[in-house]
Amino acid sequence: MTIKNFAIEYDAINSKNTFTNGDTVNGRIIVEVSKETCIQSLLFIGKGKAKVCWHEHYGQNVHVVLWSNEKYYEIKHHILREARQDGTEVIGRGRHVFPFSFKIPDRKMPSSFKSQIGKVVHQLRAELKQSMKVTKKVKTKFTVVSKPDMDTPGLMDPQYGCKDKSVTFFGSGNISMEVHTKRMGYQQGEALKVKAEISNQSTRSVKPKFILYEKKSFFAQGRRRVSTNDILKEKIEPVESSSKQTVTKVITIPRELPPSILNCSIIKLEYRLKVVLDVSMTKNPEVKLPIVVLPSSEAASKEHEEYWSKPLNTW
């Protein structure tokens, strides 16, 4: 085999090996050949795209594949192209290194993401063409953590929800709660403070539960696929019959939690805080509040750090 090694690699710019909008990716394409070799072209491609695909079955005989793509950028650089009159470039025996550099577009796009149904991929690729031979291709993925989108409506606004419930089965009376959070947007690793005002004017005790969960939505060909998954669950002591209680709970957003995806037309990754009053033998009242998870300050651009350095009002 004439081409012994064909590879592409890039240089990390931080300890987490992540990039963001506007960053420059530097790397190299490596071509190692066993003898003097003619090459028609060597092409570098930097690409960012989203893709979803899933299967649906209707009865025993109908099988439908639903899919969709969304492209954010595709940047091509010709490293070698038609250097001689015959349209080829000759490289000598041994290892050859071809450097490349490209800038990730500084525009809104989702962070890298992967699930069984959909993914957002940022990728480096190289293609080597030779006369009368199959084009050789090599690729590698790199991780993009997009800058926080501070234009998201309501991101810094307090969130509020309330719920009333009448107890009629194996008891009587009324249960109500009001739930508050300081804002909708939180960085990875940040503390989410929740205040729940619970009034239990019933003959039953209630057990408050705090749940942080994710909601994944995928869209293709006019159809939608949705899944939810609990991330954190925390309980507190029951609120007894004929009593009122104000509960403050602090929940830490996991640092490894992927940022919300709200700017992709085919994939949405959303988070919710759900406060549930567990009442046996009846439907549990619950309040849901939206939570937007933003990249930590380590990945955020400097122009957004001021949002997280401001002191917040206390209750």
Note down pLDDT in tens along the chain; length 315 residues: 688 999 999 999 999 999 999 999 999 999 999 998 889 899 999 999 999 999 998 888 888 999 999 999 999 999 885 545 555 788 889 999 999 999 999 999 999 999 999 999 999 999 999 988 999 999 999 999 999 888 889 999 999 999 998 876 666 889 999 999 999 999 999 999 999 999 998 888 899 999 999 999 999 999 999 999 999 999 988 999 889 999 999 999 999 999 999 999 999 999 999 999 988 777 889 999 999 999 986 554 444 444 444 444 333
Instruction: Indicate whether 260 belongs to any domain.
Output: yes
Instruction: Indicate whether 152 belongs to any domain.
Output: no
Note whether 140 and 172 are same-domain residues.
no
Report the 10 Å Cβ neighbour count for 240.
11
Q: What is the pLDDT of residue 140?
A: 97
Note whether 218 and 283 are same-domain residues.
yes
Task: CATH number of the domain at 39, please.
Answer: 2.60.40.640
Instruction: Indicate whether 153 belongs to any domain.
Output: no
Note whether 14 and 75 are same-domain residues.
yes
Residue 201's identity, in one-letter code, is Q
Q: What is the pTM of this model?
A: 0.85
Note whether 174 and 247 are same-domain residues.
yes
Burial of 153 (0-12, 13-18, 19+ CB in 10 A): exposed
| Domain end residue (candidates: 144, 178, 209) | 144
Q: What is the pLDDT of residue 1?
A: 65
Note whether 221 and 90 are same-domain residues.
no
| Domain end residue (candidates: 144, 177, 212) | 144
Q: What is the pLDDT of residue 313?
A: 39
**Domain range spanning residue 91?**
3-144
- How far is residue 245's CA from residue 240's CA, in Å, rounded to a whole number? 9
Maximum CA extent, the chain? 92
| Domain end residue (candidates: 144, 171, 204) | 144
For the chain, how far is it from start to end, CA to CA, in angstroms?
71
Note whether 73 and 7 are same-domain residues.
yes
Q: What is the pLDDT of residue 282?
A: 76
Number of structural domains found in the chain = 2
